[in-house]
Structure 1
Amino acid sequence: MVGQRIARVMCAASGLMEIPCVDDPAELHKVLSKRPLLLGCDAADLDLALEWAAERYTSLNLVVWTSGNTAAVLRAALQEPRLSSVIGWPSFESMPRPWEIALSVRRILNPQASPPRLSDMLSWGATVVKWRPRSSEERDRAVSEVCHWASRAGAQARIAERLGELAHELLMNAMYDAPVDRRGRPRYSHDRRQNIVLDDSEIPTLRLGTDGERIALQAHDPFGRLRRHDVFEGITRGLSAREGSGGAEQVLDTSRGGAGLGMLKIYTAGAVLLVDVTPSSSTFVTSFYDLDVNPREFRSLPASVHFFERQASAAPADEQSAG
């Protein structure tokens, strides 16, 4: 029944393409086309899915969901670039989040499409607030306002504070680590403690959106320098360090901003992390937090991560400026 529900979502998101839904892998192999585009499966079938992608179907992209620990799937995603979506399945939900499945299908099957607007990923009627901080002072003001608006949206005080910390980390990456000069040399990352004033072409956009069920924070920078390896390597290295030492801060290299301890902070701050990159053009990093989940329970739930990349030749996502 769960498989059929997932197949219906995948079918709708793919433009009503054929979506076989089979329990037995041998039976599935019989009904697949010679060049299948996408395989969705539970983490229990991860090894077989990776084998198929490597040896049988070079055209295959993978979406894997799990209601357990995501570490093994994240390690696999680090090694296999065709595994772009790791979906955490909350145990109290009847199936993985439908909007996540639909998002993965759409972005994988049409990688040249513009990233969806933040309001498109929330329920109809959502409110989106936007900031464009130019200086360190404006960054701090935006972080303070994120805490205020998160509280207005229904977040508990500790959660609003955590979202403020997330906003600070996202803006530090977008303002200090992302900007480069014409020769591709970093402009500000050598000293993340300095006060800076960005040029017009360097200013990032921070958005907070809420539909009453979720709060989303999104940072957009106009450089597109975040790489897939940095995302998955930073997360897996951080999780391994935290599990092995009881404190990731003791062993992680934080010199690369979002690729070090910062990426682990961003990943663990929400239920879903979405990274959408157009190389040398733009980076969107979006984190979703579920307002209906108890904060204690949240810490034990598997978190999702999606990484999508479109070619720089595609048109910029200027519709994002409308929120």
Structure 2
Amino acid sequence: MHRIAQFGAGRMGAVHLANAANHPRLEVAWLVDPRPDAGAIASSVGARLGSVEDVLADAAVEGVIVASSTDTHLDLATACLAAGKAVFCEKPLDLDLPRLLAAESDLVTPAAPLYVAFNRRFDPDCRALQARLAAGEIGELESLNIVSHDPAPPPAHFIPTSGGLYRDFTIHDFDLAGWLMPDPIVEVFTWASCLVDPAIAAAGDVDTARTLLRDAKGRLCMISNSRRSGYGFDQRIEAFGSGGMLRGGDLVQDTVQLWREAGAQAAPRYMDFISRYAEAYRGEMDHFAQVLAGTAQPETGYADSVRSLRLAEAARRSLATGAPVRL
């Protein structure tokens, strides 16, 4: 068993805490969170409620899950790594690119493993598509389409602290594009509008975007984002190559169809990312257990965080200027 601690028990923290508590090779020893019910949450998984200092001072703690508010991620991750504790950090590692780059010396070759959790890398459909693409089943990749549409917009008060559409939402798609495209992305162009909720515009953000990426060999990737689908959580990937197409991620809750005179009725899509990516989140935690056991190296870390955030910043500049941004 690997003794671990967790910072944060909010929406994503609750997902990670449950997966860690249910993992046969992990023991959650500490939970750090200021919310009034944090003590009860800690007790429910057999952990103690403590402080950052308690976690750092506990030599038996091998790893830490950082799932607290985004503005605390980098400082907590850096402190835990310096204490020799492996880190599982919910994305993003930070929202400020210059600040993230300034931490390079501590994070490129950290004192302990650093794993930044981009959950789609552990989704079975995404992994299968990437493996078959890498195996050359459709020849050389020529273009890529990524669709990410939420069922409904978040509350407007979430927007100012989230990092906005590109750094909070599209950043997953930027990570996918960097993972699936064989060469570095060198140019970004985006158009965006606020078509879903005027309160999002009032908060200084957009809710509908189309972003085009071009890699060093001219391959193109189009990313479609919306804060509202009207029909469920819609995540799809289409990869086009010289010898065919790979398509994945277009999931519904089951594949049973009911046919009547009026036509077909099918199962609905998943209604949120937590249910859609439940298996991916479990896969992330299992990967962390393997990292702690020394049988795996983190699949995603500092370099992936920098690459995705750099693309997000380029998209924001493109939106502001109306012009493509060269990287």
Name the TM-score, length of structure 2 as normaliser. 0.33
Structure that is richer in strand per residue: 2
Name the TM-score, length of structure 1 as normaliser. 0.34
